[in-house]
Structure 1
Amino acid sequence: MAAVLVWHPDPFWSGTSRLLFFLLLAHLLPTSLLSATPLVRVSDGWTKAYNGLQPGANQAEVNMDQRRVNELRQMFPTFPETTITQLLNAHSGQVDQTALTIAALSEIFHSEEDIEDSMLLPSEILYDDRMSEVHKLVLRSNPWLAKFPLLMPGPDINHVAANLALEYEGKYCWSTCFDADFLAALMYEGYLPMAEMTRAGPAKFILLPKMHHQRCILKFEDLHVRKKVRKRAARFDITCDAAFDAVVEGCLRQHGENWLHPPIINVLKEIFHRGGINGVRIHSFELWENGTMVAGEMGYSVGGCYTSLSGFYTVDSAGSVQCIGTAKLLQRAGVAFWDLGMTLKYKLDLGAHCVPRQAFLGEIWKTRNKRPIELPCEPVNVKQLLESASV
C-alpha cells in the first residue's frame, strides 16, 4: 500500500456544523458564558473572550480545582484562564469534556487567514481521502489534530515525507503508527519523533513528527569551550552506546515522559538493539565520574549528521562537560554537523547557530548518505579528548 498523506484543514466545521455546534453550546452552557463579547487575538488564532459569571453564581463552582485548570492550560496555553475555569464549571469539573469543548472553540474561532497560512499548497504530495475508522474516531475525540496532516506508512513514505517538509508551513504531522521502520523513515527525512497522550478515543498515544521552522545546528569548527568546562573536564570520562537503557531512564527521571512516551521509547530501543534501520542509528552518550553515570544524552545519526533527542545530568557542570565531550567524539568520528533541535541559549553558547528549514534539509541531504559513523564504547577522559585537538 502506498504511503498516504491526508489533509483535512476543516473536517467537521462546515457552516452548518458550526451553527449546530453553537445551538448545542447555547443549550448546554450558562447564558452568562455566551453573552455578546468581542473576539480577541491570541498568539495562534482567534478565541472567544467570555465575560465573567454573573454576581450570585456559585463561588464553589467558579473557584474550580486549580490543578484541573493548570492541566488544561498546559494543553491549551493560548486559551484564557478565566474561560477555562468557566468551561470547567459548565462541565461540572470534567476535564475530558472541557478539553473537547476548548478544542472545538479554538478551531471555530481560528481565522480563515490563519487556516490558509498553515495549509499545504498544491504540489506533488499525494492527497487522499482514505482514512480508517480508527483515524476518524481519533479525530472526533481529539479535534485539535485536524489542523495537522495525517501520515500513514507505505513504501513511498520517504517521498511523501520529503515533499511535505518542503511544502507544509506548519511544524507537526500526526499518525497512529509507531512502527520502527516508519519512524526511521521520518527521522531519515529530518523529522523529530515525538508523541502525545490523547484525552479520549481509540488511540492512547499519537505520534507527532516535528519539522521545526528553524533548526539549531553546530558545525564543529565553531565549537566554543568555556575555561570553566576545560578546568573540570579531567574529573569525567565519556562513553558512547555503553548504557542506552540507563540513559533513557535518566532522561525520564529528570524530565518525565513529556513527549518521550512508552511507544517512542520502545521504537528507539528497537532501532538501537537492531543496530540501525535504513541508515538511522540510535546512540547514547554517557558521562562518568568515579564509575557513576552523572550525565547522558540520547539521539540518532543519519550518515554524517547526529541529532540530539534528550539528555540529563545529576551533578553540577556534568551536563556542560557531557555536551563538550559529545561534540569532540562526534567531530573525531567525522560527523559533519550536530543537529541540536530547537534553539536554546546554552546551544548558542556552544557555538551553534539557527538555520531555516530549507537550509537544514539541504544539510541533511548532503550528509545522510555518507558512511555511518563509528563511535567508541571505551571510556575516554574528557580533558584528554579536548587536548587531542585544538578547540
Structure 2
Amino acid sequence: MFFLDDRFLFPNVNNADKEGLLAVGGDLSPQRLILAYKNGIFPWYNEESPILWWSPNPRMVLFPDEVKVSKSMRQLINKKPFKITWNSQFNEVINKCSSIKRKDQDGTWITEEMKRAYLRLHELGVAKSMEVWENDTLVGGLYGIDLGHVFCGESMFSSVSNASKYAFIHMAKELGEKGYKVIDCQVYNSHLASLGAREIPREYFIKLLKDPKLVSNKESDQN
C-alpha cells in the first residue's frame, strides 16, 4: 500500500491491487486531483475513511460513437421533452448527486470535502456539469472532469424517468462531435453498459489519456 505525502506524486497505476486501490492519503487540492485524472486515477472513499485513490483494471468507458439508443429513448429524444444546459447549476447538480437515493447503496461517497474540491475545479474550468430541465425545473444532470479529449464522468442523478439517460446520450453525441475520444465511467455499471459503455484494459485507457491521436476503438478490445 502506498501512502501519499505532501508531494504531488502518485505511484504507477500498475501497483494498484486487484480491486484497483492504488494509494491512501494526500489531499483534494486542484493540483493533485488534476494530476490524478491525467494519470487514470480518481478518489473514492466515504466520510469514515482516509482519502483512497483508485485505478481499476479493466476500466469502464464509453466510446462516443458506441452509445446505444433504444427505440423508446429515440422516440423520447425526438419529442424533445427536456432542455439541456452546460455549467449553469454545477453546485446544485453535485448536491443532488450526493443526496439522491440509490439502490443497494448506503449513504454517499460525495462528501462535503469532495463537494468543495470539485467546486474549486469547476471554478478553474476543469470540472463541468450538464443539466436537464423540464420546463424550469432541474430534473437530471451529471458532472465530471474535462481533460479536453477525455471526459471523466463522476456521477449523475435523475428525479424523473429517463432524465439521466437523456443527459448521458446527449453528452456522448455532443462530445463525439467535438472530437472527444472516450468518456470514462470508471467501474462496471449495468445501467451504463446498457447504454453502450464497456470495459477495456487499463493499459489502453492510459494510452488514450496520454495520446489524443489514438482513434481506433478496436484496439481497446480485450480479446
Q: Which of the five TM-score ranges fits, normalised by the shorter chain?
A: 0.7 to 0.9
**CA positional deviation for 1:164:** 1.9
Q: How many residues align?
A: 205
Structure 2 residue 88 is the aligned partner of structure 1 residue 242: yes
Structure 2, unaligned runs of 5 or more? 214-223
State the shift of 1:284 in Å. Answer: 0.5
More helix per residue: 1 or 2?
A: 1
What amino acid does structure 1 have at the position aligned with 2:99?
R
Q: Which residue of 2 aligns with 1:151?
A: 4
Aligned equivalent of 1:221, options 40, 60, 65 = 65
| Counterpart for residue 312 of structure 1 | 157
Say which SS state the counterpart of residue 311 (structure 1) adopts.
Answer: strand
Distance in 1, Cα, partners of 2:7 & 2:170: 39
What is the CA–CA distance in structure 2 between the aligned matches of 1:332 and 1:274, rounded to whole Å?
A: 24
Q: 1:269 aligns with which of 119, 142, 151?
A: 119
Separation of aligned partners in 2, 1:195 and 1:349: 26
Deviation at 1:176, TM superposition (A): 4.2
Q: What SS is found at the alignment partner of 1:197?
A: coil
**8 Å CA contact 1:294, 1:313 repeated in 2:** yes
Correspondence 1:231 to 2:75: yes
Query: What is the aligned counterpart of 1:209 among 46, 53, 64?
Result: 53
Q: What is the letter of the counterpart of residue 152 of structure 1? A: D
SS at match of 2:176: helix
CA deviations 1:175-210 (Å, max 9, x no partner) are: 042322112211221112223323xxxxxx521111
Q: Deviations over 1:288-342 (max 9, x none)?
A: 1112111001111113000111110001121211111111221122211111111
What RMSD over aligned residues (CA atoms) do the two structures have, in Å?
A: 1.9
Under a length normalisation based on structure 1, what TM-score does the superposition of the two structures give?
A: 0.50
**RCO comparison, higher one (Cα < 8 Å, 6+):** 2
Shift of 1:247: 0.1
Separation of aligned partners in 2, 1:355 and 1:228: 28
Change (3 A) 1:257 1:245: farther
Q: Does 1:293 align with 2:138?
A: yes
Q: Distance in 2 between matches of 1:342 and 1:168?
A: 14
Where does residue 346 of structure 1 map in the other structure?
Answer: 191
Structure 1's unaligned 5+ residue stretches are: 1-147, 199-204, 276-280, 369-391
- Of structures 1 and 2, the larger Rg is shown by 1
Matched residue, 2:170: 325
1:254 to 100, 105, 116: 100
